[in-house]
Structure 1
Amino acid sequence: MTQPQPICEVWRGPFLESLHLGHAVITDDTGQVIQAHGDPGVLIFPRSSAKMLQALPLVTSGAADAKGLSEMRLALSCASHSGAPLHIEAVDSWLSDLGLGEGDLRCGTEPSRDKELRHQMIRDSQAPCQIHHNCSGKHTGFLTLNQHLGGGSEYVDPDHPVQRACREAFEDVTGMTSPGFGIDGCSAPNFATSLQALARAMSFFATAHSRNDTQSRAAARLAAAMRAWPEHVAGKGRACTLLMRAAKEPLVVKTGAEGVFIAILPGRGMGIALKASDGATRASECAIAALLVSLGVVDAAHPDVARFMTPKLHNGRGVEVGYLRPAPSLFAG
């Protein structure tokens, strides 16, 4: 087994203080590996980077069209949103159109990741609800599919028709039978796969617009929705939103917990998947930005790229004391 490789360096003054290790894979339009760092076969939980895979049955089943879902709602079904007012309003409206409410969600509660709203809620002694959870859009998509399938209320149960449909779609586009699952932070099953298989799935999405089968048409719609509504996929100041906006060509990027990141490049038919071994978000953001720079998808000098690829480190007095940078090997592929 190939060992994890350096992906992100942390410098303080003239010294390398810390080093993040990880794995990264780029696949071509056939799903074959064209660049690898570390072990392409490493088994991972994709976490939220797989939300567009989990949303596939929402579209392929006909549920999305039966409920007249807008492109914005399709983007929300793939989102790890910040719980900002625009996200809260959008999810609440969607639930209302389904004749459902916050109590029908099974994602659990989470404080808003939107700083202004979170602080205002604290001042108002207002407790967060499930709609504030970053996965509430995905779960509202699950509820939409569940209404279409006629399943029971516990749609996060691994044996529920919704989750069986998600697993079938997941294994179909990764091209790999999942060896099992863990329960994600939002209580839904998260299916394990290899990093190479996850990148292969992103190549499937990247080439979906060139095919006309049901699964491919669904993948193309979801990817297009994410590109069109980047603010709803993540939010203000977030890497997913800013990198998609900074791109010089069509691009979808999606973060996942514990240092996972994916990218879909429809213009090239390419997919990218990476995992920081220590689960550090700063490392995965740095590495995905670097790989996109190495491919010419974004410019290193763009401020919304530099803030993730080469961020400055400051102490409590605001003095610049160091910086992050990608491991040079990421540019050697």
Structure 2
Amino acid sequence: MEYSVIAEEFRNHQLENVHQGVICIVNENKEVIYQKGDISQPIFYRSAMKPIQAIPVFTTDIIDRYNLTDEEAALFMASQRGEKYHEEALIRVKEKLGVAEDHLVCASSYPLNDAPKMEYILAKKPKRRLLHNCAGKHLGFLGYTKVKGLSEEGYERLDHPLQQEILHYLSELSEVPIDEIKSGTDGCGVPVHAVPLKNMALSYLKFVTPELIRDQAAREAVIHIGDIMNAHPDIIASHDFICSVLLKDKNIIAKGGAQGVYCLALRKEKISIALKVLSGTELIWPLLVAEILKKLNYENEETIQGLLQLKPQTIKNDDGIVVGETKIYL
């Protein structure tokens, strides 16, 4: 892999941190219009794969059958962070689907965000599987097995029909043959896959150019998934988070993953972007994506400013005094 520098952080003009990464941007013709680093290197999607993992769920009638709201269905693509609105929606979905919480293979967790986590700890509430930040995805998986009449047992295994269907759709969207897709186990216990970064960008391109998807059921599912993500951005992660800022812009479909992976695509421009910060940090995502959008002459200035409010170029100390800056290199 070619290790290109994408960002440096300075404190009092002294270099403090260096971030290397890989970036790929493709257009509607599947042409690479910008790259930095080795875009042929396989990269694990981590949670950026959730919109793709949700495709089998959205090819069923699960929403109508269980009277799910769009807000509740958004949890199937979410890396929820444990806010009250997340917990309440997760409980509703669990009850509507009629699944047992202990059937989720993800680990018991506290909320990810500081305020709800502190509230849970002070109230001496125990960790629970439903608060794992992938719990919504797992509820979708279990709901899928119920609709399809499949066994819940082993839904997390690669040889389960659900996981094989996900692999099929990933291959179609990313244009990587199944036998060339690298597989591993994600933090929540289910399979996660790696494809070259260029192909990761291609897979997200299909969310804004669904006409490129041959399978009609998948095409309709992808459109539905994108609409729901845009309609309920705070469910996908939480308020004041990069996914929420981007998804509030109806022109953008976006989702991040652990260890520095981020994907987004622009509907009007029919452009898709995939990136990986090799240190695994998420901290520079907002500034990095803002600079990429500027480079593309993106017309929605409100979206760019929203990202910069999350992560300004200036570095401030605890008293709000400017003590340094972050430089992005594209």
Contact 1:309/1:326 (8 A) holds in 2: no
Show the counterpart of 1:132: 131
Shift of 1:293: 2.6
Comparing 72-81 and 56-65, the one that deviates more: 56-65
Rounded Cα–Cα distance in structure 1 between residues aligned with 2:313 and 2:155: 41
Shift of 1:4: 2.7
Shift of 1:91: 1.1
Shift of 1:259: 0.4
Per-residue Cα deviation, 1:49-82 (whole angstroms, up to 9, x for no partner): 1100000011124444443443223321111111
Show the counterpart of 2:27: 28
Per-residue Cα deviation, 1:251-309 (whole angstroms, up to 9, x for no partner): 12211000000002122222110001111112333322221232215438954221345
Q: TM-score, normalised by structure 2?
A: 0.91
Shift of 1:44: 0.7
Show the counterpart of 1:225: 228
Structure 1 segments of 4 or more deviating over 4 A?
209-212, 300-303
Q: Which amino acid aligns with 1:137?
A: G
Contact 1:299/1:305 (8 A) holds in 2: no
Show the counterpart of 2:243: 240
Rounded Cα–Cα distance in structure 2 between residues aligned with 1:222 and 1:289: 24
Show the counterpart of 1:39: 38
Show the counterpart of 2:51: 52
Show the counterpart of 2:323: 321
Q: How does 1:1-333 map to 2 (within 5 A)?
A: 3-153=2-152, 154-177=154-177, 178-208=180-210, 213-245=216-248, 247=249, 250-295=251-296, 296-299=298-301, 303-316=305-318, 318-327=320-329, 330=330
Comparing 127-136 and 279-288, the one that deviates more: 279-288
State the secondary structure of the residue aligned to 2:99.
coil
Q: TM-score, normalised by structure 1?
A: 0.90
Q: Which amino acid aligns with 1:30?
A: N
Rounded Cα–Cα distance in structure 1 between residues aligned with 2:50 and 2:278: 21
Shift of 1:318: 4.6
Identity of aligned residues (%): 27
Rounded Cα–Cα distance in structure 2 between residues aligned with 1:61 and 1:31: 29
Rounded Cα–Cα distance in structure 1 between residues aligned with 2:87 and 2:282: 24
Alignment coverage as a number of residue pairs: 325
Rounded Cα–Cα distance in structure 2 between residues aligned with 1:243 and 1:225: 14
5+ unaligned residues in a row in structure 2: which ranges? none
Shift of 1:324: 2.0
State the secondary structure of the residue aligned to 2:163.
helix
Per-residue Cα deviation, 1:159-183 (whole angstroms, up to 9, x for no partner): 1111111111111111102433111
Q: Which amino acid aligns with 1:219?
A: V
State the secondary structure of the residue aligned to 2:209.
helix
Shift of 1:199: 0.3
Q: Which amino acid aligns with 1:279?
A: G
Q: Closer, same or farther in 2 for the Cα pair 1:41/1:309, shift >3 Å?
A: farther
Q: Which amino acid aligns with 1:94?
A: V
Comparing 79-88 and 55-64, the one that deviates more: 55-64
Rounded Cα–Cα distance in structure 2 between residues aligned with 1:167 and 1:134: 22
Contact 1:87/1:232 (8 A) holds in 2: yes
State the secondary structure of the residue aligned to 1:176.
coil
Q: Which amino acid aligns with 1:292?
A: L
Q: Closer, same or farther in 2 for the Cα pair 1:300/1:18, shift >3 Å?
A: farther
Comparing 30-39 and 65-74, the one that deviates more: 65-74
Q: CA RMSD in A?
A: 2.1
Rounded Cα–Cα distance in structure 1 between residues aligned with 2:225 and 2:313: 31
State the secondary structure of the residue aligned to 1:282.
coil
